[in-house]
């Protein structure tokens, strides 16, 4: 049960791995003087007759008529490029006092704010008029499951007959149009431009994946969600946050009356109860864990290679039974969470159940989420985007549960990213597999051999010790895994998932784990 995969817009030249930014096709100009008056801002230079049709942080994404926003970056101030922005068609600059001095020679009118990043969301919303006729807006945060919940929401919304939109780690969707994503959550200017484009396409509901970094860096400012959700919290992103508590507090910001009306919280991790206790908006709870006292419960009824069947039961005995087209209890939990979000938004559970029953279950395609890329003969091969210890634990358990033979795990770790989780990744991978192949992922500017060494150290800490191989590069590693596999075995390649590149010394090199896995199977004589 998979939906038709929407057409994907990719960069014109394969060497350019940066996806495009979606903007409204028919932007409506707004007066720069009106902007200054609306927000009570200071301005330098003449505002007479200046009209803006877009907002951007990057000269690479500049359109004629744009308001160029100069922000202090890690290495330089964006206002240094004001003259370049002017030559590209920018009609004004928005920046801070330091940036105003840097941009003075551009000759463009300058609008001053104390913090351009903090002002970006509200100003972008005003320019793109995203508060006018807004769609139903759903936001999901958590360490794992954000992407899956977002895709499942979009799928169910379509089954209910709505034109739906999506913003996720993997892709942005506007109805049947799709582009590859740059960031889990786009910059605020891009997010508001995307919503304006969605309005042109009559999108009525949008599922947005909201990362902790999006909240910390103001990427969802100016948005107001009808329903938000919390999936879970586990070890990840501790290169961005001092500890799990700081990471949690970043996500908790979504449960604020300035950001959302209502929330749905999973109690499958202890952090969920913390959200319930500290949320500043009304929340309802859900759990797929036996014995947990939640308002909604998910119970697994059947697990097959093609689907997981489950029941969802809520207050007053309301319930439905359906299927999600992917393996694992955690995916049923994600689907249940998506359904309850819809109920909280005002959809009737009975209507949702009827729509799902008519289609034989939830119709959704989740790219790179425990995605089976093998044929009917030989070993099963799954690629998955999971890159945290908790994701490994759940996905390995799901694969093992459907594997009559041995479970083979293949993975690497990101370079220049949270190194503190690598030992635990190695330990969990070793504990859950019969054969473990450690390879490379995105080394970035880090030595791949050093990353593999740390993962091997973690694997050595496991109580269960599988056969362990170290193979580089990943093209060779998947072929090694396939050579070790027999019919009835399963290979889980964790990390790359949907991604179509590897980041090597700052260069996005074209690469597809799905294609490499299929090629390895064919070379070994399997379909």
Q: Report the distance separating Cα 471 and Cα 21, nearest Å.
A: 37
Residues 348 and 412 in one domain: no
Question: Is residue 437 assigned to a domain?
Answer: yes
pTM for the predicted model, two decimal places? 0.90
Question: Is residue 16 assigned to a domain?
Answer: no
| Strand 92-95, strand 110-112: pairing | parallel
Residues 151 and 62 in one domain: no
H or E, element range at 59: none
Answer yes or no: is pLDDT of 241 > 90.
no
Residues 90 and 150 in one domain: no
Structural domain boundaries, residue 378? 371-523
Question: Is residue 22 assigned to a domain?
Answer: no
Would you state the pLDDT for residue 369? 87
| Contact yes or no for 370/510 (Cβ under 8 A) | no
Question: Is residue 208 assigned to a domain?
Answer: yes
Count of the separate structural domains present in the chain: 3
Residues 345 and 388 in one domain: no
Residues 271 and 237 in one domain: yes
Query: Can you give the CATH number for the domain in which 153 is found?
Result: 3.40.1190.10
Residues 285 and 199 in one domain: yes
pLDDT in tens, 215-230: 999 999 999 999 999 9
| Strand 380-384, strand 283-287: pairing | unpaired
Q: Report the distance separating Cα 156 and Cα 164, nearest Å.
A: 9
Q: What is the DSSP letter of 305?
A: S
pLDDT in tens, 264-312: 999 999 999 999 999 999 999 999 999 999 999 999 999 999 999 999 9
Q: Calculate mean pLDDT across residues 218-246.
A: 90
Q: Report the distance separating Cα 113 and Cα 382, nearest Å.
A: 49
| Contact yes or no for 233/143 (Cβ under 8 A) | yes
Distance of CA 316 to CAs 81, 296, 319, 443, Å?
A: 60, 10, 9, 52
Would you state the pLDDT for residue 234? 87
Question: Is residue 25 assigned to a domain?
Answer: no
Give me the DSSP letters along 160-213: TT--EEEE-SSEEEETTEEEE-SSSS--HHHHHHHHHHHHHTT--EEEEE--HH
Confidence of residue 371 (pLDDT cuts 50, 70, 90): very high
If you average pLDDT over every residue of the chain, what do you get? 93
Q: Report the distance separating Cα 375 and Cα 264, nearest Å.
A: 38
pLDDT in tens, 51-106: 999 999 999 999 999 999 999 998 899 999 999 999 999 999 999 999 999 999 99
Query: Can you give the CATH number for the domain in which 71 is found?
Result: 3.40.1390.10
Question: Is residue 49 assigned to a domain?
Answer: yes
Would you state the pLDDT for residue 10? 41
Query: Can you give the CATH number for the domain in which 392 is found?
Result: 3.90.190.20
- Domain final residue pick, 75, 99, 128: 128
- Domain final residue pick, 108, 128, 148: 128
pLDDT in tens, 310-322: 999 999 999 999 9
- Domain final residue pick, 358, 385, 409: 358
Residues 417 and 469 in one domain: yes
Residues 263 and 280 in one domain: yes
Tokens 């994503």 locate to 181
Question: Is residue 86 assigned to a domain?
Answer: yes
Lowest mean pLDDT among 1-5, 117-121, 397-401, 464-468: 1-5
Residues 166 and 183 in one domain: yes
Residues 339 and 488 in one domain: no
Lowest mean pLDDT among 142-151, 177-186, 268-277, 461-470: 177-186
Would you state the pLDDT for residue 18? 63
Would you state the pLDDT for residue 12? 39
Residues 379 and 506 in one domain: yes
The 3-state DSSP class for residue 345 equals: coil
Would you state the pLDDT for residue 101? 97
Residues 168 and 89 in one domain: no
- Taking alpha carbons only, the member of 473, 512, 474, 493 closest to residue 381 is 493
Question: Is residue 485 assigned to a domain?
Answer: yes
């Amino acid at each position: 049960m998979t939906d038709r995969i929407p057409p994907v817009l990719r960069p014109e030249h394969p060497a350019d791995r940066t996806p495009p930014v979606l903007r409204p096709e028919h932007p409506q100009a707004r007066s720069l003087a009106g902007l200054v008056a609306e927000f009570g801002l200071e301005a330098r230079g003449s505002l007479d007759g200046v009209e803006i049709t877009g907002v951007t942080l990057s000269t690479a994404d500049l359109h004629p008529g744009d308001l160029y926003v100069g922000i202090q970056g890690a290495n330089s101030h964006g206002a240094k490029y004001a003259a370049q922005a002017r030559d590209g068609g920018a009609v004004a600059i928005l920046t801070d006092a330091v940036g105003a001095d840097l941009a003075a020679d551009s000759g463009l009118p300058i609008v001053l704010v104390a913090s351009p990043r903090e002002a970006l969301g509200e100003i972008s919303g005003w320019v793109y008029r995203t508060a006018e006729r807004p769609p139903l807006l759903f936001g999901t945060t958590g360490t794992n499951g954000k992407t899956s919940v977002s895709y499942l929401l979009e799928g169910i919304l379509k089954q209910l007959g709505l034109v739906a939109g999506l913003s996720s780690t993997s892709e942005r969707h506007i109805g049947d149009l799709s582009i590859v994503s740059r960031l889990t959550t786009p910059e605020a200017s891009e997010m508001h431009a995307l919503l304006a484009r969605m309005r042109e396409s009559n999108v009525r509901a949008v599922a947005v994946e909201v990362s902790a970094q999006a909240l910390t860096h103001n990427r969802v400012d100016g948005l107001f969600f009808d329903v938000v959700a919390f999936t879970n919290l586990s070890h990840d992103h501790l290169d961005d946050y001092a500890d799990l508590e700081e990471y949690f507090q970043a996500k908790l910001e979504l449960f604020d009356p300035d950001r959302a009306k209502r929330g749905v919280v999973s109690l499958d991790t202890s952090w969920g109860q913390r959200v319930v206790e500290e949320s500043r908006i009304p929340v309802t709870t859900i759990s797929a864990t036996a014995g947990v006292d939640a308002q909604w419960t998910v119970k697994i009824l059947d697990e097959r290679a093609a689907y997981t069947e489950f029941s969802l039961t809520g207050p007053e005995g309301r319930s439905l039974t359906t299927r999600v087209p992917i393996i694992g209890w955690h995916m049923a939990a994600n689907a249940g969470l998506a359904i309850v979000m819809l109920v909280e938004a005002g959809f009737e559970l009975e209507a949702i159940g009827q729509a799902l029953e008519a289609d034989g279950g939830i119709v959704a395609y989740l790219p790179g989420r425990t995605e089976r890329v093998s044929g009917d003969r030989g070993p099963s091969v799954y690629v998955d985007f999971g890159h945290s210890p908790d994701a490994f634990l759940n996905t390995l358990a799901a694969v093992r549960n459907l594997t009559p033979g041995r479970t083979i795990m293949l993975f690497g770790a990101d370079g220049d990213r949270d190194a503190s989780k690598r030992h635990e990744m190695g330990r969990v991978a070793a504990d859950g597999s019969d054969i473990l192949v450690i390879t490379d992922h995105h080394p970035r500017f880090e030595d791949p051999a050093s990353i593999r060494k740390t993962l091997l150290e973690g694997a050595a800490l496991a109580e269960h010790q599988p056969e362990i191989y170290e193979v580089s590069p990943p093209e060779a590693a998947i072929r090694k895994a396939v050579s070790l596999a027999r019919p009835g075995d399963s290979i889980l390649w964790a990390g790359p998932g949907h991604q179509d590149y590897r980041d090597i010394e700052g260069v996005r090199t074209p690469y597809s784990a799905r294609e490499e896995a299929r090629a390895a199977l064919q070379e070994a004589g399997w379909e």
